Structure 1
Amino acid sequence: MGVVVNLEEGKRGAGSIKRLIELTADDMARVNELILSKAGSDVELIPELAWHLISSGGKRLRPMLTLAAAQMFGYSGEGHVKLATSVEFMHTATLLHDDVVDESDLRRGRKTARMIWGNQASVLVGDFLLGQAFRMMVDVGSLEALDVLSTAAAIIAEGEVMQLDVSKNLETTEDEYLSVIKAKTAALFSAAAEVGPIVAGASRNDRAALRSFGMNLGLAFQLVDDALDYGGSTTDLGKNVGDDFREGKVTLPVILSYRRGSEEERQFWKKAIEENETDQAALDKAVRLMNKHGAIGDTISRARHFGEIARDALAPLKNEPQKVALIDVIDFCISRVA
């Protein structure tokens, strides 16, 4: 079974990851082989459950960032393939854990693993994938890469706990929310981009540039997802539109709408988010209020802001094909809401 790479582009084709896919195709083939190998186990449930999610599609951006970043500095060994696979396993484990915490029913248009095999199996298989990820990091033999990825794993877990604290809390501030997504989402983007130059022996300045690029790309990516949940399509989002609303998640569009709304509108948000009154009529009203107060547009503006910071982070680097491809990724991310 091969890993499916989603070639989805932005709504108007304004952004594309085609160049990134082409540059990393050979290395991604090696990553896919390693995924097949390392997701295997004599415990039948482990590969069965892992493959349910791994084979369900997705853009595979994070491992491709690692591969392209290593290529940019002339790396030609095997370490970047193992690190890219580690990054993908970390991401997959996070999704398995997220679906349990969020009590999600669908992921990429399919039933979540927890709906088929239960919460306990999902958590434990996620733990197995994390263990395999760290074994591959050790195999690479780079303490610096291990440090970056292990630190990211801890930060992601902190982000999960932070999200529990803000869950259904309509008094959450924008800064508090940005702290959550910086940990939950952007930390892995940042680590994925940084370990490429590390294994390639690049300078600390080059490492810092890719680290900043990844962090700000991750923030932009998550904010676009937040906007798409209220104004996109299932194809754009990889899950059902309105899932965040139905799960009572306090994302930036909700925060801005609640802050800017009248007392009557705030009562609506309290019933929806805190009391789970999230039927289709409530979702339609939520979208109307967001449009009224410019919440979706401002969320997209924030995403564009972080996208520009990511672009600026790459500016000092040589104009290698991989650099151009990484800039394309920024455009692709933002174009999903174009």
Structure 2
Amino acid sequence: MSLDQSAQKPQDRLAAYLSEDLERVDALIRERMASKHAPRIPEVTAHLVEAGGKRIRPMLTLAAARLFGYAGAHHVLLATTVEFIHTATLLHDDVVDESGQRRGRPTANLLWDNKSSVLVGDYLFARAFQLMVETESLRVLDILSDAAATIAEGEVLQLQAARNLATTEETYLQVVRGKTAALFSAATEAGAVISGADADAQRALYTYGDALGIAFQIADDLLDWQGDAGATGKNVGDDFRERKLTLPIIKAVAAADAEERAFWARTIEKGDQRDGDLEHARALMERHGALAATRAEALDWAAQARAALAELPAHELRDLLGALAEQAVSRLA
């Protein structure tokens, strides 16, 4: 490996390894997001699909299949399915969250309207199920349809738990499994199934995807408090200003005394935020070790992801997937 290669991020090295497959996925995305009768569908879809996403989820499917020497075409169908499900959920999420920006660009609901975003998201879900059926694998259909249900369930749970200081770490984990980890684990497990890998390998890749997704989301939530805005694309404290109950806040609330709990009730539950509140919130987290504990959990989940890969045969792709898990938390160093 050259010095240039070793300096690349794992996701870039994985993309290079899977470049031909990814080109086929991109071509299939463009083909299947088309509509003869409703030109707004490809307009809205293209706005999000072509906004510079990393294609992590489809790469997980492709890598899981190639890891076991798969040489057919169904992994491309599944990778496209995963990307369509992801895109559909983003369209719906931006409506629910009333978001105005994603990946540094105006959201579809802002450029068009909420109705268009919801309906185009529905269209992409339908296209995803068409692609699943084309693999002629009931097991794959079961995995991905279950993931779609888990994602929706997680979003509803997040609505119920939003701004509720009684939210526990267990509930937070359920939300994270829905909003992030469910599609990661479905992507890797489906790739293993389509390749004909045995049950142990399928289970190992499911565990890897689940742990990777959780590590990634916890790290993302932590970076909202201590990240570099230029690197993360988020301003420090955005989650606090939006009154999101992420893991650092949940941990701080659990350790709070009466005065501190009153502060969290005012700023999160009631939305009464004043000058200096962000700094005070961070000070409370530092006082109770909430940030350090959150970092430790992210590192532990990343370690669980890497451990799951140890059950798989030696392969360059296995090493790249392990490096991807390290990258998910390397931002926390």
> Normalized against structure 2, the TM-score is what?
0.93
User: Whose RCO is larger (CA < 8 A, sep 6+)?
Assistant: 1
Note the 1:49-88 alignment, pairs <5 A: 49-88=44-83
Residues 182-205 of structure 1, C-alpha deviations (whole Å, 9 max, x = no match): 122111100000011111111011
1:287, distance to aligned residue in structure 2 (A): 2.4
1:253, 1:85 → 2: CA distance?
A: 34
Aligned counterparts of 1:95 and 1:239: Cα–Cα separation in 2: 17
Q: Partners in 2 of 1:191 and 1:238 — Cα distance?
A: 27
Cα deviation 1:203-261 (Å, max 9, x = unaligned): 01110010000001111011001101111134443444433222221110110111222
2:167 to 163, 167, 172: 172
Counterpart check, 1:116 vs 2:131: no
Amino acid paired to 2:259:
E
Match status 1:40 vs 2:27: no
Residue 292 of structure 1 and its aligned partner are, at CA, apart by 2.7
- Tell me the distance in 1 between the aligned counterparts of 2:31 and 2:289: 48
8 Å Cα contact 1:248-1:273 kept in structure 2? yes
Counterparts of 1:236 and 1:150, CA distance in 2: 34
Contact residue 14 and residue 332 of structure 1 kept, 8 A: no
Overall identity of the aligned pairs, in %: 50
Corresponding residue to 1:132 among 127, 132, 135: 127
Distance 1:99 1:280 in 2: 28
CA shift for structure 1 position 291? 2.5
Contact map agreement 1:15 1:335 (CA 8 A) in 2: no
**Which secondary structure does the structure 1 equivalent of 2:314 belong to?**
coil
CA distance in 2, matches of 1:21, 1:280: 44
Structure 1 stretches (4+) deviating beyond 4 angstroms? none
Aligned to 1:282: 277
Q: CA RMSD in A?
A: 1.7
Instruction: For residue 17 of structure 1, give the secondary structure of its aligned residue in structure 2.
Output: helix
1:132 deviation in Å? 0.8
Q: How many corresponding residue pairs?
A: 326
Residues 209-248 of structure 1: pairs in structure 2 closer than 5 A: 209-248=204-243
Whether the aligned pair in 2 keeps the contact of 1:58 and 1:238 (CA below 8 Å) is no
| Cα distance in 2 between the residues matched to 1:165 and 1:14 | 41
CA distance in 2: counterparts of 1:258 and 1:331, whole angstroms? 29
Q: Any idea what SS the aligned residue of 1:228 has?
A: helix
- Name which of structure 1's ranges 102-111 and 25-34 shifts more when overlaid on structure 2: 102-111
In structure 1, give the amino acid aligned to 2:64. A
Return the TM-score normalized by structure 1: 0.92
| 5+ residue gaps, structure 1 | 1-12
Q: Which residue of 1 aligns with 2:144?
A: 149
